[in-house]
Amino acid sequence: MSYSLRCRVIVGGKARGSILVTKQPINFLSSVDHLTGMITDKNHELYGEFVKDHVLVFPYAVGSSVGAYSIFALKSNGVSPSGIICTSRTDITTASGCAIANIPLLELCGDQDIAEIQNYNEAIVDGISGILQIKKV
């Protein structure tokens, strides 16, 4: 079973990986361990999950402006998501971090798609055509 969603391309490139999805925003500075890629915020629904090699689907990043460096550090340390999808409004922190880290970043217009994405576990991100393909495997 697979399904395609049209997105806005913010940072180009291609990626694939298993889906890690949340409805909660992320503070990349305070909530993600840069060395391991683990979500460390006990109040976050992804607490204990690792972002490494996943396609991370979340509304937008919040808080610290330094979060952009955090995304770059995740990539430098080999523990970053392979692709990122913002579902609400792509924020400046995520966009600039992905631009430097060369992580494909798409924006999906509308939170309502999160419920749909939760039914799938694999994603292919095409940051050229702007198509996000999600699959159940």
Partner 1 sequence: MFVHLTREEEDALDEKHGQAVSIAYKILLSIGKATNAERLIPVDWVHLSGVNYNTIGDAGVKFLTKNSEEMRFLVPTTINPMGYDSHKQNNLSNNFKRQQMEIVKAYDKMGSIPSFSCIPYELFQLPDRGHNVSFAESNAAVMANSVFGLHTNKESSLSALASAVTGKAPYSDLRIRSIRDPKIKIKIETELNTELDYGILGYFSGKSIKESCVSFGPEISNIDIYKSKSLAAALGTSGVCGMFSNKEINGNNISFGKEEEKSVMDELNTTESGDVIALGSPQLGMHELELLSNMIDGKKFSKKCMIFCPRSLYEKASNSGIAQILENAGGSLICDACTCLSPLLTHEEYDGVITNSVKAAHYLNKSSGVSVCLTDLRSIIRKYTR
Q: Which residues are catalytically annotated?
A: 64
Considering only 38, 60, 118, 124, the residue that binds partner 1 (CB under 8 A) is: 60
Contact string (CB under 8 A) for partner 1, positions 2-41, x = contact:
------xxxx-------------x-x-xxx--x-----xx
Closest CA to 103 of 120, 86, 121, 122: 86
Between CA 101 and CA 95 the distance in angstroms is: 10
Q: Considering the complex, state which of residue 37 and residue 120 has its C-beta at the smaller distance from partner 1.
A: 37
Choose the stretch contacting partner 1; rule: CB under 8 A; options: 13-21, 56-64, 114-122, 129-137. Answer: 56-64
Compute how many residues bind partner 1; rule: CB under 8 A: 45
**129 CB-near residues (< 8 Å, 6+ apart):** none
Binding mask 97-126 for partner 1 (x = CB under 8 A): xxxx----x-x-------------------
d(CA 103, CA 118): 22
Which of 5, 68, 125, 132 touches partner 1 (CB under 8 A)? 68
Q: Does 46 bind partner 1 (CB under 8 A)?
A: no
CB within 8 Å of 41: residues ≥ 6 apart:
27, 30, 31, 47
What are the residues facing 124 on neighbouring strands? 16, 133
Torsion of the alpha carbons at 108, 99, 120 and 137, rounded to the nearest 10: 150
Identify the three-state secondary structure at position 127: coil
Q: Which residues bind partner 1 (CB under 8 A)?
A: 8-11, 25, 27, 29-31, 34, 40-41, 43, 59-70, 72-73, 75-77, 88-100, 105, 107
